[in-house]
Structure 1
């Protein structure tokens, strides 16, 4: 699933391509909003909130989308060939100069701009946006008995982080992914490291130390990187990568 850095880059790309443009054609290929027509309205901006995208259209409406696991937005010239099949398109926003197409989007809905805060009110502080360190630490600390890997990925604690940056944050901290939140020695530092990871990702800096490297060795100590499945209780197991030497399991 694309994480906060990828979503923010997508928001900036859509913002550059569409802001100020008058829409000449719109299609929302989801049953609930299939009859909504935003043609004639002016796009006023696109922002990211955690892993969510908000494209504001006119003075009343917002197109709320989420990439989920496989979604993406592309910007093209009108008439330019799409990089994916038409049946994968879920949203189309077209102006005289630009066509933005959202493929395999997990969420597509039109909401009043006044409802943005309510719709996304469950999210925790945004690691790449509206940031509040005290609130982030407080929310994370409430997951007392939960494994830290799962707690970090909970968007009600920290908005924008997922499997990849949770793994990299835990490696930097030397914390095993199954460690209970209550047993993590410094949650404040962990929150700061997580934020730094996403900020560096925005600048395309750094390399992956453990994520998706289970067939290689640790860059720090040479031990083999391991992978375990976590989050099964949520019905959405995710791979957690770690170095068993640098991130020993608590006894």
Structure 2
């Protein structure tokens, strides 16, 4: 699933392309929305809230989209070929000089703008939202409080919970835990106040660092293979100590838990770990791509 900065960048690019313009084509191909035609509506703006996107129109409605694992919006100049399969298209929003095409948008809904809270009302602070700009201390304090709310929960699982703060995905979960020098399986209640505050600070810092560019780097290096500390480096040497990075599943056993791959260095990240099996070689769990969606 894309990180929050990927969705933020998609929203800003869509907003730049569509805001203030009337749709010359507004086609929805999602099974639930096939009868709706948005042509003639004016786009007021496009905004991201965590991993959710809202395209708002002048008639008081919003088109909600969520990328899930493989969804994306592409932007094209009129007349240019589209990169994608026809049967994957779920939305086409066209204005005189740009065309926005939504591919594989499994979650697509048309709702009153006043009801957007149905989707985002229970989310924690948006790490890239305007509230963090206007009240950074208040948002950081709220995220720290929500992290501490369940002391038995594993840190990695808590960071992924969008009700704690929205924006962190599997990439940043792995990198934040590495930068904190703690295992992703460490109980939140076993962390010092300083570690909790650092987890909040790194969450905000890493997403903000990458929010305005397609590349995602947590090391400060944009070179191929040098962008991440442990993410997608299973079986390779840790960039800090050269010990082998281990890949394992993290699932805290809750009904709403998401069973995801965790990357960690057992030397640099002391604390509880699952049995990793063979340290090198063998088949690894399928990895998620850290690459961004493409835009024309």
Instruction: State the TM-score, normalized to the length of structure 2.
Output: 0.81
Question: Residue 112 of structure 1 aligns with which residue?
Answer: 112
Check if 1:38 corresponds to 2:38.
yes
Question: Residue 166 of structure 1 aligns with which residue?
Answer: 173
Question: Residue 283 of structure 2 aligns with which residue?
Answer: none
Cα deviation, 1:173-195, whole Å, max 9, x if unaligned, reads 00101111111222122111111
1:163-202 aligned within 5 A = 163-185=170-192, 186-202=195-211
Q: Classify the secondary structure of the residue corresponding to 1:150.
A: helix
User: Would the alpha carbon gap of residues 179 and 244 (structure 1) be closer, same or farther in structure 2, given more than 3 Å must change?
Assistant: same
Q: Classify the secondary structure of the residue corresponding to 1:172.
A: helix
Please list every run of at least 4 consecutive aligned residues from structure 1 whose deviation after the TM superposition is greater than 6 angstroms.
none
Question: Residue 144 of structure 1 aligns with which residue?
Answer: 151
> What is the distance in 2 between the residues matched to 1:225 and 1:8?
30
**TM-fit CA distance, 1:237:** 1.6
Residues 183 and 271 in structure 2, CA contact (< 8 A), matched pair in contact too: yes
Check if 1:216 corresponds to 2:236.
yes
> What is the distance in 1 between the residues matched to 2:123 and 2:264?
27
Q: Classify the secondary structure of the residue corresponding to 1:33.
A: coil
> What is the distance in 2 between the residues matched to 1:42 and 1:245?
55
Residues 78 and 99 in structure 1, CA contact (< 8 A), matched pair in contact too: yes
Unaligned runs of 5+ in 2: 133-138, 221-226, 274-296
Q: Which has the larger displacement, 27-36 or 176-185? A: 27-36
Which of 223, 248, 251 is residue 270 of structure 2 equivalent to? 248
1:1-251 aligned within 5 A = 1-129=1-129, 130-131=131-132, 132-185=139-192, 186-202=195-211, 204=215, 205=217, 206=220, 207-231=227-251, 233=253, 234=256, 236-250=258-272
Unaligned runs of 5+ in 1: none
**TM-fit CA distance, 1:250:** 4.1
Cα deviation, 1:147-170, whole Å, max 9, x if unaligned, reads 110110000001010100011000
Q: Which has the larger displacement, 116-125 or 152-161? A: 116-125
**TM-fit CA distance, 1:86:** 0.7
Instruction: State the TM-score, normalized to the length of structure 1.
Output: 0.95
Q: Which has the larger displacement, 201-210 or 131-140? A: 201-210
Superposition RMSD on alpha carbons, in Å? Answer: 1.6
